[in-house]
Amino acid sequence: MDSRPGDPIDGVPDYVTRRSTGFYRALNPATKLAVAALEVVAVFIVPGWPGPGAVFVALAVTALASRTTRALILIGLAASPLVISIMVVNLFLVPGAADPIFRLGPLAPTVTGLGVGLLTSARLLVFSSAVALAYVTTPVDDLLADMSRRGLGRRGVFVVGAAVQMVPRTLERAGEIMDAQRARGMDTEGHIWRRARGLVPLAGPMVFGALTEVEERTMALEARAFTAPGRQTLLRVPADTGLDRLLRWLAALALVAIVALRVSGRIG
């Protein structure tokens, strides 16, 4: 056959071979992973505000252009309990801080604590947004197809695929199991200890469901010649352009540079 990757193939529905398009979305999954890795390292290795600051600007621009702002804001909101607890802990408990903003009995929030809390929160939010951006702009199929094109074995692809898809499936299953128990009068609106006790009925079906699902998926794959010898034909091949390669090289160089600067003590 003379077809190039990404071309329509006879008898294969369009949605299988169709490539992702749009700003940032169209990039190769590996490129997006490399960029995310650079961002994560920059956030944590560059001391002080420049790290999260710069990454935040980059993320904001990318998110606006790729229309993913809403998803990222939602993910940020989901992290808010964590952010609040980080703020509280740091405000009051940073060791050695002696610059109270005010005193109220035993409570003495410190300026140092405020700074540390804000920076830690910013790092957390920017870090999770960087990972989330790669996730929301990359269909799982693209990621898996690209990995298998790069020579990761089928088993590897299966494991990664199962792990990545586990998250939304698990959330969905947890919601439904919770509903089933609420329908039988489980009180999720009462006291804390009651609600905690309510989690017990979730554990069984969660674990059991996850196990049977993996087992069934494995058998379904066997039945579709997953373990057959020989090379698989990839129907969906994500694009990998010169721009992708350039971006990956730049990300790798920048990453090495940041680490080198940090290790040699030139920053921080």
Partner 1 sequence: MMGRGAGGGRGASSGSGADASIGGVAPAVDGGEAVAPAVAPAVAPAVEFVGVSFAYPDGTQALDGVNLRIEPGERVAIVGQNGSGKSTLVRHLNGLLRPTAGRVLLDGRDIRDVHVAKLAALVGLAFQNPDRQLFGGRVAAELEFGPRNLGVRGSELAECVKSALAAVGLQDEAETNPYDMGYSRRKLLAIASVLAMRTPILILDEPTTGQDARGVARVRGVVRATVAAGRTAIAVSHDMRFVAECFGRVVVMRGGRVVLDGTPGEVFAERHWSELQAAHLEPPLPAVVGARLGLGSTPTDAALVERLKSNA
CB of residue 162 to partner 1, shortest distance in Å: 18
Candidate list 7, 187, 215, 222; residue touching partner 1; CB under 8 A: 187
Closer Cβ to partner 1, 16 or 203, answer by number? 203
Rounded CA-CA distance 179/197 in Å is: 15
Q: Counting contacts by CB under 8 A, is residue 2 touching partner 1?
A: no
Closer Cβ to partner 1, 8 or 168, answer by number? 168
Q: 3-class SS at 58?
A: helix
Determine the longest span between alpha carbons in the chain, in angstroms: 79
Q: Counting contacts by CB under 8 A, is residue 184 touching partner 1?
A: yes
Q: Counting contacts by CB under 8 A, is residue 177 touching partner 1?
A: yes
Q: Counting contacts by CB under 8 A, is residue 167 touching partner 1?
A: no
Ramachandran bin of 267, using left for φ above 0, alpha for ψ from -120 to 50, beta for the remaining angles:
beta
φ, ψ at 79 (rounded to 5°)? -85, 0
Candidate list 181, 217, 258, 267; residue touching partner 1; CB under 8 A: 181
Q: Counting contacts by CB under 8 A, is residue 149 touching partner 1?
A: no
Closer Cβ to partner 1, 47 or 168, answer by number? 168
CB of residue 202 to partner 1, shortest distance in Å: 7
Question: Per-residue DSSP letters for 72-124?
Answer: HHHHHHHTHHHHHHHHHHHHHH-TT---BS--BTTB--BHHHHHHHHHHHHHH
CB of residue 129 to partner 1, shortest distance in Å: 21
Task: Give the position of tokens 């969906």.
Answer: 236
Candidate list 95, 106, 185, 229; residue touching partner 1; CB under 8 A: 185
φ, ψ at 166 (rounded to 5°)? -60, -40
Establish how many alpha carbons lie within 13 A of residue 258's alpha carbon, considering only the half-sphere containing its beta carbon. 19
Rounded CA-CA distance 135/66 in Å is: 13
> Binders of partner 1 among 194-223, rule CB under 8 A?
200-205, 208-209, 212
CB of residue 175 to partner 1, shortest distance in Å: 9
Binding site for partner 1 (CB under 8 A): 173, 176-177, 179-190, 200-205, 208-209, 212
